[in-house]
Chain A
Amino acid sequence: MTDIALKAGKAPRVRRGALTHGRGLAGLVLVGVVVAAGLLAPLLTPYTPQQQIPGANLLGASGGHPFGTDEVNRDVFTRVLHGVRVDLAVCLLAVPFGALLGGLAGLLAGRSGIADVFTQRAFDVVLAFPPVILGIAVTAVLGPGVLPVVCVVIAAEVPLFGRLVRTATLKVRELPYVDAAETMGASRTWVLRKHVVPNILDAVIVQLALSASVAVFIVSAMNFIGIGVRPPAPSLGGVLADAMGQLGSNNLYAVGPLLVIVVLVLGFQLIAQALLASRRGGAR
């Protein structure tokens, strides 16, 4: 309906350019490399993650095995690459879903007093369980596997996004331009669609990048203490936990997954920081 208006003045994106230089670019490259390596895993190594290579017990790094081999003769590099797939799949599934759920709860909380009290208390309860502890509780019921990990990441994201969206919504609704719109007869839905959502989107996007890094942390932490993906299926945290027992024999066994986790978390953090910086710069 407002097509003409939109075409007449396409709002320049504040975020544009945040990821083409400096921290943003570095973060993007870090994440991109790991994602590409995960996607291309079958092409990058000749082995499968469960394949036991005869005679290759705890070998050090070499051309054939960049991260060496583990205690049951598997190629660590292959297991790490395939582990990336699991970690990223969980993040890409759970983070947006949790953000959506939390965002809706936050919008709902901003609409009525009762809903606000209810959602706020619910968030309080969830936040009282730190993610790892929550993981333990969920695993106690569901048993180890990918499902509890997804549940925990979603549960950890919902209150974060819920609170973010709630406070941002309340803040935007106090602003004179929203008051002006409401005084001239705009409905709540109009205000929500045209003013609130566009103006809180930036904050949500920054939080998405931050949440992705938190999710990588949760997933690998749960796998690390053995309450995530069931072995022998590979995961970054799982490989790292296995490596703990073999620190003396193959150094790169631990360094490999360690490096990948750090690169992923750091990459998402850098992206979030760059987005945040561009947002601040854009808002004068």
Chain B
Amino acid sequence: MTALLRIGNLGVRFPGTTAVEGVDLELERDEVLAVVGESGSGKSVTALAVMGLLPAGATATGSVTLDGRELLGAPEEELRRVRGARIALVFQEPSTALNPVERVGWQIGEVLRAHGTPRRERAARVAELLTSVGIPPERARDYPHRFSGGQKQRIVLALALAVDPDVLIADEPTTALDVTVQAEILALLRDLRRERRLAVLLITHNIGVVADLADRVAVMRDGRVVETQDVRGLFAAPATEYARRLLAAVPRLEAHDRPARPAPAKEPVLAVEDLRVDHPGRPATLDGITLAVAPGEVLGLVGESGSGKTTLGRVAVGRLRPASGTVRLFGQDLPGLSRSELRALRRRVGVVHQDPAASLDPRRTVLESITEPLDVHRIGTPAARASRAHDLLDQVALHRDHARRLPRELSGGQRQRVALARALALEPDLLLADEPTSALDVSVQAAVLDLFTELQERHGFACVFISHDLAVVNQVADRVAVLRGGRLIELGTARDVLTTPSTPYTRTLVDSVPVPDPVAQRSRHAPDLEISA
């Protein structure tokens, strides 16, 4: 039995580090092999090595064979003829994967041209390809910026499959997309794979996507494959401790019991009424929003990109003025406050941002970052501030030695812990967390979420927790508000909204989240087929 694509003892070295070592993978015809792992595990580098597209300075050793023919070290022209024609690559960021200044039809035509399709046949073939991925063929003359993220990913797929390759390497093909769009692209991938009998090497960190699509799974960690198994086998009985932990860390959408909170006796920490926010020249960013956050309550704010959840968060803490409606923070009307009154009010607010790379000033040490709120409000002596910072470091489970480090000397998860410590320095009554874990790996995310829950229970602050990830919100929130296109679609307890949604949109949203269980996830496809049939 010979595999279609065989990776044998692959090693990739960059100057000073080894990215991949001793990787063995085999891909059969008509099979989906998922490669999962967290960032830095070497999965993307493996894909580039197969394509012969490693960046300058990297060296690959071992062997990569396609139908028994060695690709590693093959001459550039031979590799070029393999790329696109035998092995194709699709990757994460559809917004940048297409050339912004060329028409999409031309870009697909370029691939046909590179593989010898005569000029007069190209236009027809482009139209055919666009149709096959669900894009109207007349849109071949449009530029990429005229398409949505999901449409762009469809076009990238059409481009990759232009000359009928045997192998498709899909590197995080749905990571940058909203869940509902992700569900559509996954369905398209399933169809394409069935029609063309494609062998797919699916690289992803999303366990739900693996459960949806993969036949076999290889788990990578630190540049090595730690486990390769049949997908059902892996989810049922992971052989290695690492795979077991990875699977356990995935947040799930199932209802889970959390202790009921005491009913809000006092007035809400934050109350928003009939709020409207405009951007000049565009439809209202937010319209008719009414909601309240009780003391000690975690309100999850979910929605797809462009739904206005971040805007709502900014309005709530007085960073953005509403066009109309009221915003009451700690019982005070925000729009009416002077700048100094607002500043005093913000002493009681903490924020955690999404991007761990930019949420800390690169020139300030961890200690300086954590004491910043205390410095700003001149609380305590410098010595007292430092000891408070050390105390906070303990609380977010960082070592005191980290105090002297700079952000770039920390990992993403550590930076988010520092950001959390900074947000808690003033013992806030309200915490605004905007996608605090979406840039983190699953296992890191799980640890940060656990830490968040623990701190929230200890300090009892109220929180507006913004996220696109329903499962994450399900894990931390008491109540959930669903936004879509600037409007509040649904508001209720986490259990009600996420398990028995009352609106069709929320139902679609919930159904689109791939379940990290191959049996359950695949059984959900069945109704799909019935509808389309």
Contact = CB atoms under 8 A, between A and B. Distances in A.
A281 B358 CA distance: 17
A190 B376 contact: yes
B178 interface: no
Contacts of A185: 343-347, 349, 373, 376-377
A9 B367 contact: yes
A9 B423 CA distance: 20
Interface string A23-61: 000000000000000000000000000000000000000
A177 B419 CA distance: 9
B154 interface: no
Interface string B35-47: 0000000000000
Interface string A174-203: 011111111111110010001100110000
Interface in B322-362: 343-347, 349-351, 353-355, 358-362
Nearest to B360: A177
A186 B373 CA distance: 8
Contacts of A179: 319, 351, 353
Nearest to A181: B372
Interface string B370-386: 01110111100011011
Would you call the interface of chain A mostly helix, strand, loop, or mixed?
helix
Contact of B358 (A177, A182, A184, A187): A177
B351 A180 contact: yes
A178 to B, nearest CB: 8
A180 B433 CA distance: 11
A183 B383 CA distance: 25
Contacts of B196: none
Interface in B64-82: none
A198 to B, nearest CB: 5
A187 B361 CA distance: 16
A12 B363 CA distance: 9
B85 interface: no
Contacts of B350: 184
Contact of B359 (A4, A180, A187): A180
A202 to B, nearest CB: 9
Interface of A: 1-6, 8-9, 11-12, 175-187, 190, 194-195, 198-199, 283-284
Interface of B: 317, 319, 343-347, 349-351, 353-355, 358-369, 371-373, 375-378, 382-383, 385-386, 403-406, 408, 419, 422-423, 426, 432
27 contacts: A1-B375, A4-B382, A5-B365, A5-B368, A8-B365, A8-B404, A9-B405, A9-B406, A11-B364, A12-B406, A175-B358, A176-B353, A177-B359, A177-B369, A179-B319, A180-B359, A180-B419, A183-B346, A183-B351, A184-B346, A184-B349, A185-B343, A185-B346, A186-B376, A187-B376, A194-B372, A199-B363
Q: Sort A-B residue pairs by CB-CB distance and give the 8 closest, nearest first.
A: A9-B365, A185-B346, A176-B353, A4-B382, A9-B404, A185-B343, A186-B376, A176-B359
